[in-house]
Amino acid sequence: MFNEKNRLLEHFGLNSYGEIMTYIRENPEDKKVKEIKELFETHSINLDEEADRNEK
């Protein structure tokens, strides 16, 4: 699992999940963001809601 986490962070070129949430919120049209949203939506996870909740 630890290696999977690192690959996800590397995919976005970021260092933390908080940075990923910020990146998703600020770059909704980015190809990587669209791909990751599709992956999570297949598991009934809405990343827009998660990113907004993470902001608070």
Specify the pTM: 0.63
- Give pLDDT, residue 13: 84
pLDDT digits (tens, 9 = 90+) for 1-56: 455 557 878 878 888 888 888 888 899 999 988 988 888 888 787 878 877 776 65
Helix (H) or strand (E) holding 22: helix 17-26
The pair of three-digit structure tokens given for residue 11, joined into one six-digit string: 């995919």
